[in-house]
Each structure stands twice: as structure tokens, then as C-alpha cells.
């Protein structure tokens, strides 16, 4: 009976429906518009006369003979060598996630199992570190990095991103490990394992759901970072996001804005698939800290 | 867990945090107390039959030596904090004396970079945060009312604005509101004003940046609230319905109190994230009308030929101080909870 009432169309439901539909348009439209427009020429995507040009590709057909053009992609990936930035991003993201998770699982496990007061203080320090605007930290790196001659190379950026990532990773894995019953590893220790063996043979096999969720967020942080990568990498080691930012400075003249549009779509595409395949994990990760605390 | 085992497990994690978060904060503070050496200038007088001429040149060797001796620069105390790039105490005193009304005074203060950046950052933080909370809650309520089949795709679409890189997301919006972009051109047509530009007006720039901020962060509050709604106890809702509570009353008196802890959590995260607003200012090229604190530090490090480490350091310390004030209520609360738990 209850479900029958819930399926009735009341005015409140209709308002809710309309409101959600409105939000969906606001959330999705910019992406669809830009994805579609990236296959057009600039005169269409930035058409003052008629926005319908961007949909039907009036100028695109005139200039290239087809409704679709991949000129923007060709220009950015090949001519402006965006592929280099893509490779750099892959390296940075891969190693940042790998190292963050390794450090984070070890630390998070210990924090979840320790009953001493300092574990609490470490978590509090993590919270404060999490709040630090990244730009304030970056301004502290530059001078020593120049002095030691480690500025501009990928390993420096990777280790900095790992560090900035650590507070969040620790918090998340700490709350994940709290959910794994203590009895599991303690009974292993009764059977004669030491702490490391218990971790290796009991915890590692069952920790993957939490690690994957945390890894997704580490991935996002490293992939989306602009502050650290733009300040700490030299031009030839540039990753995707600072590369897009520097496109804006250099390719403002006619026709080349589409290079930046194509690069933006290229940088968004992996995130799109990430959300598609890992939606459940992302949602559970976002709510992990919240629903419990 | 034994102390030694704990240390072994946490050592990698603690050492990277110590090296790359704790030490840089200290180093930023030291930087802010120093100022770059002045170049050593040699004044030489060249005399020829037509008269004498003094020329000045930089003694590079002596300058380099000075730099080697004290690489941080000359000790400057807190003068960087009080100069016109930061708190501008002298200038404010003068402005106070020379302005006839409070509004003129405020306008004069607004010309100094730190106050400019602070006013935008704080406005942004305290406008975007409540909007995100409120709208996110509404969308969560709405989605909760949807048929099951539609929930998955809705959540997928909602996640995109948050997941996408801030720089990229704001660029996408920027191109749309551009004078030639779809929204910008349409607005020009509606108002029949070809010079209407969201970029040219300070007020519209602020609004645009805040709209971006709300668009970007709303999915976060929506998802958390939506998860919270699934945990509202069914019995309480039923009891309220039997007692004759309307849908609105049920939401107001049962659902909202239940979600309050979540709202506090979201507020905390939002405050932290909004306070470091930076990328949209780059994407929207909004620095003429709106600057944030993070942008100011970036500018100190980026714009001039030599990075202004002392200015960047001082601005960073001021930022850290502000973050501390923002976090203080939360820290005190957590501390109290922790103590109570340990007593009981």
C-alpha cells in the first residue's frame, strides 16, 4: 500500500521532477555542447550570429567540406605536441597513485589499530594539513628546489603530490580499516603471526575495495592538479592541465582556440569514463567520512 | 599496537607529510621575514675634456657574494607584512585621515592587493557555501523522489561537474559565456546590447565566478545528502505521518535534524575548498576584477622577473592564519568530543 502512495503524482513530486531535470540540464549541457563543438571550426563554435551554427556546422562545411572536422585535435595533439603532456600526466598520475596508496595503507592501518593518544593527534594534524591551500605550500618549495637543482623534473612533482595527497588518503583508509574487525588480524597474531605477517596474509587480501575507492580520489587529485604542476614543472615536462593553460596564452589568434577546446575535451574524456565505470565507488568514497562521522 | 611497530607502519607517510607540508610552512614563514639583497651598485666617474659623467653599474661579483653569504636575503622582520602589498598600515592610516566618508575609505582600501584578494575570497567562500548546501539538499530530495530506474543516470550526470578538473570546467563555462559563445551571444540578443560582456563588468565577473563555484561543488553536497537521506529512520517518518504531519513538516522536523551532522561535515569541506579558489580566476581571466589569495601568491611568484619570495611568504602566512581561524571551531569541537569519549 505504501508503494502505491509513493508512486502517485502529487504536485510536490512534479516540482521535484522539474527541479532535478533543470539541474541535469545545467550539469550536462556544457559538456555536451563543448564535445559537439570541438569537432567544428572556430567560426561555428564561437558564432555571434547564430548559435545554431555550432550545432549544424555551417562554417565547418564551408571551410572543410564536412560537418565534422578533427582539425582541432590534429592541431593540439600533433602540431602543439599535446601528446607529450598526455604521457607526462600518465607518468605523474600512475606513480602518485601507487606511492600514495602504499604509504596510505600502511599508515591508515596503523592509525586504525593504535589505541594511543598520538594516533588522534596525527589525524588532527592531517585535517589541518588537508586545509592548507596548496599554493601556500608551493611558495615554500620553490627556493629549496631551485637550490638543490630538483625543480622542473617529474619525480619532484610526484613526491610533492604524494605528500599533499597523504592527509586525505590517511583519513579515508583509516576509517576503512576501522570497519575491518580487529579480531581478524588479532586472531592471526594469536596463531603466531607478527604484525607484518598479519597485515600481509589477513588484511591485504581483503582491503582492495577500500584501496580502490581511495585510489580513485588520489587519481583525481593528481590528474586535476594545476597549482603544483604549473609551478614545479619545466615546459618540456608539462602535464595536461598546465599545458591547456599555456595554450590559452599562445593560441589566442584565429582558428587556434579550437586547439584548446580539443585539448579540453581530450582531458575530460578519461574522467567521463572514470565516472561511468566507478560511479558506485566514487559515491561511497564521498560519503564514507560523512555518514559515519 | 606497539610503539615501534606503529612507527614502522606510519614512517613513510609521516615523513613525506613532515618534509613536504610541515617544513614548507616553516620555510614560508622564514622567507617572509627576509627581503632580497639590493644589487651592489658601483658609481664611477668618467672625466673627459667635455666634463665629468657619473655612471652606475651593477657589481655582479659582489652581488653574487652577498647572495652566497646569506641566500635567504636580508633580514627584514615583519616589514613585508606591513608594506603596501599586504596590510598597508601606513597607507590605511593616511586613507583614513584623508577620506571624508566611510565609503571613500573602503574604496581606497580596496585598491590594495591583499584587501582586494581577501574581500573576493571571503565573499566567494561565504556565498558559494550556503548556496551549495541548500541547492544540494533540494536536488537530493528531488532525486530521492525519482523512480528507481532514473536514479543511476541522474547521479552519473550530477557527478561530472565536480569530477572534471576545475581549470577545465571553468574554461568550458568561460567559452560559453564569451561574447561569441552560446550563452554570451544569446544574452546580448535578449538585451539587445552588443557590448554586453560578462567579463567587462566587475559585478558580473564576481557573479560568474560564484555561479561556477556552485556548479562545481553542488554534486558533492548532493551526493552526501542523498546518502544521508537513505539512512533516515522509516519508523519516525511513519509516526510523524500518523500524527498528521504534512510532507513539509516531516522534512522540516524529522529529515533536517537527522541530516544536521552531515551538513556540518559538508560545510567544513566546502569552507576549506572554497577558501583556496584559484583556477577559475585563471580560466575566466578575471584578475582585473576579482583576485583570490591563492591567485595573489601565484602572482607574486610568477609575474615579475624574479619571484617575490618574501611577498609570497607573507601572503601565505596570512592565508594559513585565516585557515586556522576557519578551522578553529571544528578543532575545538573535535577536541571536546575526544576528551569526553576518553573520560566515558
**Between A257-292 and A240-250, two packed helices, what is the crossing angle to 10 degrees?**
140
Closest-CA residue to A151 (of A228, A51, A260): A228
d(Cα B98, Cα B96) in Å, to the nearest integer? 6
Backbone angles phi, psi at B68, to 5 degrees: -70, -35
The full set of domain ranges for chain A reads: 2-74, 82-292
Q: Are B44 and B159 contained in the same domain?
A: no
- B4 part of a folded domain: no
Interface residue of A252, A290, A292, A293 to substitute, partner B, most B CBs within 10 Å: A290
Point out the domain boundary residue: B45, B75, B105: B75
- B29 part of a folded domain: no
Please count the residue pairs, one from chain A and one from chain B, whose beta carbons lie less than 8 angstroms apart.
Answer: 289
Q: Are B137 and B65 contained in the same domain?
A: no
Range of the domain at B138: 120-293
Q: Is B307 on the interface with A (CB under 8 A)?
A: yes
Which CATH number covers residue B234?
1.10.3720.10
- B153 part of a folded domain: yes
- B244 part of a folded domain: yes
Q: Are B126 and B191 contained in the same domain?
A: yes
Tally of residues, chain A: 293
Residue A71 CA to chain centroid, in angstroms? 28
Q: Are B67 and B134 contained in the same domain?
A: no
**Between A257-292 and A154-178, two packed helices, what is the crossing angle to 10 degrees?**
30
Q: Is B280 on the interface with A (CB under 8 A)?
A: no
Q: In this structure, which topology does domain A82-292 adopt according to CATH?
A: MetI-like fold (1.10.3720)
d(Cα B210, Cα B280) in Å, to the nearest integer? 10
Q: What's the Cα-to-Cα distance from A239 to each of A34, B101, B294, rounded to whole Å? A: 22, 50, 21
Provide ipTM, 2 decimals.
0.88
Closest-CA residue to A268 (of B88, B236, B222, B171): B171
Q: Residues 31..90 of B with a Cβ closer than 8 Å to A: which? A: 31, 71-72
pLDDT (tens, 9 = 90+) of chain B, 344 residues, equals: 788 989 999 999 999 999 999 999 999 999 889 887 777 777 777 777 777 777 777 777 777 777 777 777 788 888 888 888 888 888 888 888 888 888 888 888 888 889 999 999 999 999 999 999 999 999 999 998 888 888 888 989 999 999 999 999 999 999 888 877 888 888 888 888 777 777 788 898 999 999 999 999 999 999 999 988 888 888 888 899 898 888 888 888 889 998 888 888 889 889 989 999 999 998 888 888 899 999 999 999 887 677 888 889 999 999 999 999 988 887 888 788 777 876 65
- B269 part of a folded domain: yes
d(Cα A33, Cα B171) in Å, to the nearest integer? 13
Q: Are B209 and B139 contained in the same domain?
A: yes
Helix extents (H) in B112-255: 113-144, 148-163, 166-177, 182-190, 202-229, 234-242, 247-250
Q: Are B154 and B271 contained in the same domain?
A: yes
- B23 part of a folded domain: no
Q: Is A154 on the interface with B (CB under 8 A)?
A: no
- B21 part of a folded domain: no
pLDDT tens digits, residue range B284-322? 888 888 999 999 999 998 876 778 888 899 999 999 999
Number of domains in chain B: 2
Q: Are B147 and B271 contained in the same domain?
A: yes
Q: Are B289 and B210 contained in the same domain?
A: yes
Q: Which residues of A touch B24 (CB under 8 A)?
A: 137, 140-141
Q: Are B211 and B70 contained in the same domain?
A: no
Q: Are B277 and B137 contained in the same domain?
A: yes
Q: Are B189 and B262 contained in the same domain?
A: yes
Q: Are B56 and B187 contained in the same domain?
A: no
Element (H, E) at B56: strand B51-58
d(Cα A286, Cα A216) in Å, to the nearest integer? 11
Element (H, E) at B147: none
- B255 part of a folded domain: yes
Q: What angle do CA A66, A67, A69 make, to 5 degrees?
A: 75
d(Cα A274, Cα B162) in Å, to the nearest integer? 13
Query: Is A127 close to B154, i.e. CB distance below 8 A?
Result: no
Amino acid at each position: 500500500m505504501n508503494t502505491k502512495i509513493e508512486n502517485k503524482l502529487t504536485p510536490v513530486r512534479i516540482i521535484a521532477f522539474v527541479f532535478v531535470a533543470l539541474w541535469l540540464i545545467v550539469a550536462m549541457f556544457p559538456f555536451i555542447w563543448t564535445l559537439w563543438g570541438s569537432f567544428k571550426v572556430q567560426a561555428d563554435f564561437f558564432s555571434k550570429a547564430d548559435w545554431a551554427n555550432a550545432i549544424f556546422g555551417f562554417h565547418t562545411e564551408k571551410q572543410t567540406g564536412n560537418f565534422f572536422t578533427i582539425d582541432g585535435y590534429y592541431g593540439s595533439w600533433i602540431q602543439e605536441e599535446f601528446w607529450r603532456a598526455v604521457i607526462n600526466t600518465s607518468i605523474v598520475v600512475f606513480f602518485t597513485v601507487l606511492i600514495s596508496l602504499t604509504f596510505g595503507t600502511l599508515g591508515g592501518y596503523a592509525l586504525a589499530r593504535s589505541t594511543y593518544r598520538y594516533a588522534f593527534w596525527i589525524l588532527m594534524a592531517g585535517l589541518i594539513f588537508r586545509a592548507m591551500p596548496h599554493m601556500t605550500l608551493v611558495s615554500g618549495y620553490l627556493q629549496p628546489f631551485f637550490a638543490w637543482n630538483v625543480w622542473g623534473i617529474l619525480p619532484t612533482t610526484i613526491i610533492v603530490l604524494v605528500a599533499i595527497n597523504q592527509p586525505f588518503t590517511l583519513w579515508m583508509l583509516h576509517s576503512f580499516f576501522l570497519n575491518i574487525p580487529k579480531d581478524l588480524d588479532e586472531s592471526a597474531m594469536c596463531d603466531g603471526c607478527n604484525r607484518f605477517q598479519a597485515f600481509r596474509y589477513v588484511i591485504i587480501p581483503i582491503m582492495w575495495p577500500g584501496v580502490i575507492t581511495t585510489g580513485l580520489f588520489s587519481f583525481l587529485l593528481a590528474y586535476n592538479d594545476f597549482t603544483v604542476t604549473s609551478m614545479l614543472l619545466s615546459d618540456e615536462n608539462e602535464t595536461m592541465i598546465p599545458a591547456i593553460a599555456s595554450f590559452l596564452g599562445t593560441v589566442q589568434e584565429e582558428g587556434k582556440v579550437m586547439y584548446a577546446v580539443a585539448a579540453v575535451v581530450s582531458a575530460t574524456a578519461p574522467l567521463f569514463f572514470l565516472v561511468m565505470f566507478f560511479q558506485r565507488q566514487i559515491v561511497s568514497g564521498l560519503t564514507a567520512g560523512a555518514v559515519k562521522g | 599496537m606497539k610503539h615501534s611497530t606503529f612507527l614502522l607502519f606510519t614512517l613513510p607517510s609521516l615523513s613525506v607529510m613532515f618534509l613536504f607540508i610541515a617544513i614548507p610552512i616553516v620555510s614560508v614563514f622564514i622567507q617572509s621575514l627576509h627581503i632580497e639583497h639590493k644589487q651592489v651598485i658601483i658609481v664611477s666617474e668618467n672625466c673627459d675634456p667635455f666634463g665629468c659623467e657619473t655612471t652606475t653599474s651593477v657589481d655582479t661579483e659582489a652581488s653574487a657574494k652577498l647572495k652566497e653569504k646569506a641566500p635567504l636575503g636580508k633580514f627584514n622582520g615583519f616589514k613585508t607584512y606591513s608594506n603596501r602589498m599586504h596590510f598597508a598600515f601606513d597607507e590605511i592610516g593616511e586613507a583614513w585621515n584623508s577620506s571624508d566618508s566611510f565609503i571613500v575609505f573602503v574604496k581606497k582600501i580596496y585598491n590594495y592587493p591583499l584587501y582586494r584578494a581577501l574581500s573576493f575570497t571571503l565573499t566567494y567562500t561565504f556565498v558559494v557555501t550556503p548556496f551549495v548546501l541548500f541547492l544540494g539538499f533540494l536536488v537530493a530530495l528531488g532525486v530521492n523522489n525519482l523512480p528507481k530506474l532514473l536514479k543511476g543516470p541522474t547521479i552519473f550526470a550530477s557527478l561530472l561537474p565536480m569530477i572534471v578538473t576545475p581549470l577545465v570546467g571553468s574554461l568550458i563555462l568561460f567559452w560559453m559565456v564569451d561574447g561569441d559563445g552560446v550563452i554570451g551571444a544569446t544574452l546580448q540578443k535578449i538585451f539587445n546590447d552588443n557590448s554586453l560582456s560578462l567579463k567587462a563588468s566587475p559585478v558580473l565577473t564576481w557573479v560568474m565566478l560564484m555561479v561556477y563555484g556552485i556548479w562545481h561543488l553542488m554534486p558533492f553536497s548532493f551526493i552526501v545528502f542523498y546518502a544521508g537521506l537513505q539512512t533516515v529512520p522509516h519508523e519516525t517518518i511513519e509516526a510523524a505521518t500518523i500524527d498528521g504531519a504534512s510532507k513539509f513538516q516531516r522534512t522540516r522536523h524529522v529529515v533536517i535534524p537527522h541530516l544536521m551532522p552531515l551538513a556540518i561535515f559538508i560545510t567544513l569541506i566546502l569552507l576549506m575548498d572554497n577558501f583556496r579558489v584559484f583556477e577559475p580566476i585563471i580560466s575566466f581571466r578575471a584578475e582585473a576584477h576579482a583576485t583570490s589569495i591563492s591567485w595573489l601568491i601565484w602572482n607574486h611568484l610568477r609575474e615579475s622577473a624574479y619571484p617575490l619570495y618574501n611577498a609570497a611568504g607573507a601572503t601565505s602566512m596570512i592565508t594559513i592564519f585565516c585557515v586556522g581561524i576557519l578551522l578553529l571551531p571544528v578543532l575545538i569541537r573535535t577536541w571536546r568530543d575526544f576528551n569526553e569519549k576518553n573520560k566515558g
